[in-house]
Homo-oligomer: A and B are copies of this chain.
């Protein structure tokens, strides 16, 4: 295992200490239990909180700040955070306007956020993100939450910042979540430090289509094909789900899993944009980069969100976090 690391057991805390120092103008970190929270909390807004296993950075810690999350609860790598992290984070940033949890659809995350919301002595709602169309809608565990999560976080965060109510924030979150579809492909595995070995194996000519962000099996193990063919596969699955129609405006997000060069991500953007344009779909907003990673996994995902004027306005609203910043 080749990593820049001192000790598997202290890795997360050491890294978070660096994160909190590098972004001391935006965030503070609490340890035991661990959560990252906005340095200047605003009591008059709904508190927006997310979290999940670490190893997907910048998701979620990199999205704490003005106009997005009030707090994020990082678990150990690829491991759900505990209810006490969520509870303490909520108590730290809570207001009398209530708390909204944004939760990726994984059994552990869902269960622990549910426990936290029951323990929490204030109004609480949850937006579940399940944007990975690699799995069928009626899959036994439901669809996984992947790169579309940051789009939900950005848009809900913008609405909360404007002073909207908990009911309104929950509604917009559900709306974005149901307007968003993603699918990914892996060219290599990553290595979780505590395991020390690759999560899965891929031969030199293989790719895992429909992979999850923890290296979960996807739709199909296939022979590595051209960028055109890969993007067509992913885009078609997304289109089948969202049923995009002529004239629809969308946000197109190309996400790298960690080890994919920007040159490849922009190539994917080009092909996906043309796929959509051929259907009369207009890409009016875009985001390209490594935002929802799987440590050093190679590969990428495509995410499409159907936009209307309301969602576009909230996407454009100012944001100031470690890894997403504009308008301020």
Describe A's contact surface by its main secondary structure.
Answer: mixed
Interface residues of A in 4-24 (CB under 8 A from B): 4-6, 11-12, 14-19, 21-23
Closest Cβ neighbor of A286 among chain B residues? B22
Interface 9-residue window, one of A37-45, A81-89, A151-159, A257-265: A257-265
Residue from B57, B268, B299 in contact with A261 in the complex, judged by beta carbons closer than 8 Å: B57
| A46 at the binding interface (Cβ < 8 Å) | no
| Cβ–Cβ contact A296 & B260, under 8 A | yes
| Cβ–Cβ contact B5 & A55, under 8 A | no
| A2 at the binding interface (Cβ < 8 Å) | yes
Q: How far is the CA of A41 from the CA of B327 in the complex (A)?
A: 21
Closest Cβ neighbor of A231 among chain B residues? B4
Closest Cβ neighbor of A58 among chain B residues? B262
Closest Cβ neighbor of A54 among chain B residues? B263
Residue from B230, B326, B328 in contact with A4 in the complex, judged by beta carbons closer than 8 Å: B230
A residues apposed to B, CB below 8 Å: 2-6, 11-12, 14-19, 21-23, 54-55, 57-58, 62, 77, 185, 187-188, 204, 207, 224, 226-228, 230, 258-271, 273, 283, 286, 288-290, 293, 295-296, 298-300, 323, 325-328
23 residue pairs of the A-B complex, CB under 8 angstroms, read A2-B207, A2-B224, A2-B298, A4-B185, A4-B187, A4-B230, A4-B264, A5-B227, A6-B226, A14-B270, A14-B271, A15-B263, A18-B268, A18-B269, A21-B270, A22-B266, A22-B288, A54-B263, A55-B263, A259-B259, A259-B298, A296-B298, A326-B328
